[in-house]
């Protein structure tokens, strides 16, 4: 086995490999790393090859820590490899350690899309020194919709209230269209600000979503859809697509006309659109792993639950410390910073993805 850091000319080869693997992880795509590089992160991809063919790999985002001149590694939804293959995993981690030494890294954080019941994978992580964390970065739980099912069968599988709301939105005249343009970004962000104010959560600046347009939308990996009532934008979603899968990543809605059920209309349109394009899986993305009334995402969970998808719960975040002492200081410092930031911005210490 050969382990090497890929470069720009290998981007297409890497994307073909990632998109062909179970789950088709867009957050491990070369383009996602390129996008995050526009947002203050570094980025590199390490692959394990055999006879010139990629067998596994990991796309890592890097962030320079202020003052102490250290780096942190984060691989969203990585690594990508055949499950429970210790030889491949060890080769990959040995390569990561080399890069960690070069960049003076404190730790590697991962959150692979591995089922929480996969004890073999969890044991493999433990054997390399990975530590399970409670604080999530990407959602640990989601619902999958099987888009290979007939459309009428999908609709009838939804909860009765969800079907009713979809039909109500059609009856009331809510219209949905693709709007993957700067105008679409503008409409989305205006609605997202309303949603943020209504539900009291934090969002990225508008420039973040414009960069998503410039990289992911322009590369055919994302789209924006807008629902309008009487010509007025009332709901919008930002979706990602890669391999055989579509993700509902960001959603926004106006304070007015919520009784027209535009959110139901836009998701039903998205499901039909994705089926027509040949995608096989719709990932509704982002629900509490243990939903309870009063949680910030409880309402989101109830809405997504109405589509009656298959519940998936992953193993969550694991850290591999490279420097035990500095890691402990860094880990504690990040926790305090996030708590203070939430208190200042939201008036409470909260975590929408908390266990």
What range does the domain containing 31 cover?
A: 2-138+315-346
CB neighbours (10 Å) of residue 286? Answer: 22
In this structure, are 129 and 67 located in the same domain?
yes
**Positions in the chain whose pLDDT score sits under 50:** 336-337, 339-349
Those residues with Cβ within 8 angstroms of residue 76's Cβ, 6 or more apart along the chain or in another chain? 27, 28, 32, 59, 61, 111, 137, 138
In this structure, are 270 and 155 located in the same domain?
yes
In this structure, are 325 and 220 located in the same domain?
no
In this structure, are 78 and 101 located in the same domain?
yes
Name the residue with tokens 């836009």. 266
In this structure, are 56 and 172 located in the same domain?
no
HSE, CB side, 13 Å, CA atoms: give it for residue 209: 26
- Asked if residue 261 belongs to a domain, the reply is yes
Those residues with Cβ within 8 angstroms of residue 34's Cβ, 6 or more apart along the chain or in another chain? 43, 215
pLDDT in tens, 297-320: 899 999 999 999 999 999 999 999
In this structure, are 225 and 90 located in the same domain?
no
In this structure, are 49 and 116 located in the same domain?
yes
Distance, CA of 98 to CA of 87 (rounded, Å): 17
Peptide bond connecting 262 to the previous residue in cis, omega within 30 degrees of 0: no
CA separation (Å) from 329 to 68, 265, 324? 11, 48, 9
Name the residue with tokens 């969002």. 203
Those residues with Cβ within 8 angstroms of residue 148's Cβ, 6 or more apart along the chain or in another chain? 280
| pLDDT score at 27 | 98
Those residues with Cβ within 8 angstroms of residue 247's Cβ, 6 or more apart along the chain or in another chain? 26, 239, 240, 241, 283, 285
- Asked if residue 28 belongs to a domain, the reply is yes
- Asked if residue 173 belongs to a domain, the reply is yes
In this structure, are 225 and 301 located in the same domain?
yes
Q: Helices (H) and strands (E) in the chain — how many of each?
A: 11, 15
For residue 267, the SS3 value is helix
In this structure, are 157 and 134 located in the same domain?
no
- Asked if residue 352 belongs to a domain, the reply is no
Given a contact cutoff of 8 angstroms between Cβ atoms, the answer to whether 107 and 322 are in contact is yes
The CATH number linked to 150 is: 3.40.630.30
- Asked if residue 354 belongs to a domain, the reply is no
- Asked if residue 355 belongs to a domain, the reply is no
| pLDDT score at 349 | 38
| pLDDT score at 351 | 55
Burial 190-205 (b: 16+ CB within 10 A, else e): ebbeebeeeeeeeeee
| pLDDT score at 258 | 94
CB neighbours (10 Å) of residue 158? Answer: 21
Those residues with Cβ within 8 angstroms of residue 153's Cβ, 6 or more apart along the chain or in another chain? none
- Asked if residue 67 belongs to a domain, the reply is yes
- Asked if residue 351 belongs to a domain, the reply is no
In this structure, are 322 and 304 located in the same domain?
no
In this structure, are 201 and 186 located in the same domain?
yes
Q: What are the helix (H) ranges across 221-323?
A: 262-276, 298-305
| pLDDT score at 124 | 96
> Phi, psi (5° rounding) for residue 196?
-60, -45
Number of folded domains that form the chain: 2
In this structure, are 88 and 47 located in the same domain?
yes
Structure tokens at 67: 């003052």
């Amino acid at each position: 086995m050969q382990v090497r850091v890929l470069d720009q000319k290998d981007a297409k080869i890497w994307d073909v490999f990632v998109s062909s693997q179970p789950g088709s992880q867009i957050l491990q795509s070369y383009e996602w790393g390129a996008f995050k590089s526009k947002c203050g992160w570094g980025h590199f991809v390490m692959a394990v090859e055999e006879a010139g063919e990629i067998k596994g790999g990991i796309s890592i985002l890097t962030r320079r820590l202020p003052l102490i001149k250290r780096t942190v590694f984060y691989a969203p939804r990585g690594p990508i490899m055949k499950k429970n293959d210790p030889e491949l995993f060890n080769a990959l981690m040995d390569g990561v350690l080399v890069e960690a030494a070069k960049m003076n890294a404190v730790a590697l954080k991962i959150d692979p899309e591995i089922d929480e019941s996969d004890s073999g994978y969890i044991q493999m992580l433990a054997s390399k020194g990975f530590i399970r964390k409670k604080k999530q970065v990407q959602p640990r739980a989601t619902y999958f919709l099987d888009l290979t099912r007939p459309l009428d069968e999908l609709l009838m599988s939804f909860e009765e209230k969800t079907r009713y709301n979809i039909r109500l939105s059609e009856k009331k005249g809510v219209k949905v269209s693709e709007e993957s343009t700067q105008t679409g970004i503008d409409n989305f962000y205006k609605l997202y600000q309303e949603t943020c104010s209504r539900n009291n959560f934090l969002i990225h600046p508008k420039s973040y979503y414009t960069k998503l347009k410039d990289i992911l939308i322009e590369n055919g990996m994302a789209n924006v859809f807008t629902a309008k009532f009487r010509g007025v934008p009332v709901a919008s979603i930002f979706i990602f697509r890669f391999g055989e899968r579509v993700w509902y990543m960001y959603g926004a809605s106006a304070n007015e006309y919520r009784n027209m059920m535009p959110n139901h209309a836009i998701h039903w349109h998205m499901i039909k659109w994705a089926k027509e394009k040949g995608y096989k899986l719709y990932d509704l993305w982002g629900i509490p792993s243990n939903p309870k009334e009063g949680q910030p995402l409880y309402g989101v969970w109830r809405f997504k639950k109405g589509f009656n998808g298959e519940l998936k719960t992953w193993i969550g975040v694991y850290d591999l410390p490279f420097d035990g002492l500095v890691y402990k200081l860094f880990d504690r410092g990040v926790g305090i910073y996030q708590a203070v930031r939430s208190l200042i911005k939201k008036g409470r210490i909260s975590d929408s993805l908390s266990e």
